[in-house]
Amino acid sequence: MRAEILSVGTELLLGQIVDTNAAYLARVLSDLGVSVYRRVTVGDNMDRLLAALRSALESSDLVITIGGLGPTMDDITRDGLALAFDDTLHLNDDIAEGLRKFFTKRGMPVLESNLRQAMVPTDGRAIENPNGTAPGLLFEKGGKVGIALPGPPNEFIPMVDNFVAPYLRRKTGNIGTIRSKVLRIAGVGESLVEEIVKDLMFDANPSVAPYAKVGEVHLRVTAKSDTVEEADALIEERAKLIYERLGSAIYAEGDDPIEKAVVKLLAERSETLSTAESCTGGLLSQRITDISGSSTVFMGGAVVYSNAAKTDLVGVPAEMIEAHGAVSAEVAQALAEGVRKRFGTTYGVGITGVAGPDGGTPQKPVGLVYISVASPDGCEVDEVNYIGGRATVRLRASQTALNMLRLRILKSKI
């Protein structure tokens, strides 16, 4: 099966946004064994959209459009696909009713233009969008398929995962399959990971490829075979070898971030957590509570930006801050122990540092962060020096804290 990806939006041609959606979709298609023939971007212009759609349908079996499904006059993808597929659009009453309810509930007027989002193809159907008002659309004619997806990534990505991928898996049947698994590694740098699995990287099937992320490394193991079972068996055999070499540095498989691994570990052990954050400003607790079900293990956190808050909320002695400075191993430890006591949790995490761009000194430069984990077994503190801007320093600090916590939980007895 051959596909073309068509991004629609003048903002893309003006370079105002980077098309990360298209790259995401391309990766998913490639994993499914669907060959992407071409990617095209056109503006909000019907002639050019239609020319691009017709050209795509000449060379490919499948065209997936991104964007242009909103309610405004600029949003022409719906009409363009109907023309290219020689189909008509009609109002779907259920979707229209859902839209009316949506706006009424919010006390907003139901504009006629909003109902454009309830127009669906006569020979096709709507694709559910749980995160927005514009459903996706499926067009089918003469063996050719058109799929229209909305542009906002928080709507687009779940629809790729939950509709496009399963749909294509069914559609393509068993034409030989490419399967892959990602092993997620924290606490070991990319070069060292590569050193450790170098010999495996020469093999073509299964292949092993490292990808460096912020504060972690992903190893993608990919296998091709006639059947899913065979491909999965190849992957498992290779994964076993990698586990033997990297052990607990592998914190999860697949898409689960490290905060999910931590929440899962705590839930399995019926243990609890609280956090006291200075320079990360709530990023750590935000990441943890991003995980559904975290409320059973995460009791709460203190974002203690000012020195007074460190003392009042978490009980860091004012004299300690005076003597060692707010950015110090002592204060990090007092934060972790204080918040653990305050919330009565199994573990407490404390973070204090200089996120920058201001506030650095020769003794305590931007990027210096102290991270502490308090547990029933005692308290440990790490001093780390990150390079990068404010956002990077904060992200890396939250990442290190999560990995320290994870390793601490693994080490402790139940």
- Cis upstream peptide for 210 (omega within 30°): no
Measured from the CB atom, the residue of 71 and 317 that comes closer to its own copies is 71
Measured from the CB atom, the residue of 357 and 376 that comes closer to its own copies is 357
CB of 409 to its own copies, least distance (A): 19
* Footprint (CB under 8 A) of its own copies, residues 101-120: 102, 105-106, 108-109, 111, 113-114
Token pair belonging to 13 = 């041609």
Give the length of the chain: 414
Burial class (CB in 10 A: 0-12, 13-18, 19+), 413: exposed
Does position 1 bind its own copies by CB under 8 A? no
Q: Among 1, 41, 264, 329, indicate the residue that binds its own copies (CB under 8 A).
A: 41
Q: What is the total count of residues that contact its own copies (CB under 8 A)?
A: 113
CB of 122 to its own copies, least distance (A): 25
- Inter-CA distances, 77 with 41, 135, 292, Å: 12, 12, 35
Does position 288 bind its own copies by CB under 8 A? yes
How far is it, in rounded angstroms, from Cα 283 to Cα 75? Answer: 36
Q: Among 299, 332, 369, 371, indicate the residue that binds its own copies (CB under 8 A).
A: 299
Taking CA 152 as the corner, what is the angle to CA 147 and CA 157, rounded to the nearest 5 degrees? Answer: 60
CB of 199 to its own copies, least distance (A): 12
Q: Among 294, 375, 400, 403, indicate the residue that binds its own copies (CB under 8 A).
A: 294
Does position 65 bind its own copies by CB under 8 A? no
Does position 388 bind its own copies by CB under 8 A? yes
Q: Among 130, 142, 143, 173, indicate the residue that binds its own copies (CB under 8 A).
A: 130
Q: Among 19, 87, 216, 330, indicate the residue that binds its own copies (CB under 8 A).
A: 19
Does position 270 bind its own copies by CB under 8 A? no
Strand order in the sheet with 177-186: 207-213, 216-225, 177-186, 250-253
* Footprint (CB under 8 A) of its own copies, residues 190-209: 190-192, 194-195, 201, 209
Q: Among 60, 65, 275, 399, indicate the residue that binds its own copies (CB under 8 A).
A: 275
Q: Among 262, 313, 381, 397, indicate the residue that binds its own copies (CB under 8 A).
A: 313
* Footprint (CB under 8 A) of its own copies, residues 45-64: 48, 52, 55
Burial class (CB in 10 A: 0-12, 13-18, 19+), 33: middle
> Helices (DSSP H) in 173-294: which residue ranges?
190-197, 228-246, 258-269, 283-289
Does position 25 bind its own copies by CB under 8 A? yes
* Cβ(274)–Cβ(339) below 8 Å: yes
Does position 285 bind its own copies by CB under 8 A? yes
Say which residues have a Cβ less than 8 Å from residue 72's Cβ, sequence separation at least 6: 113
How far is it, in rounded angstroms, from Cα 251 to Cα 358? Answer: 34
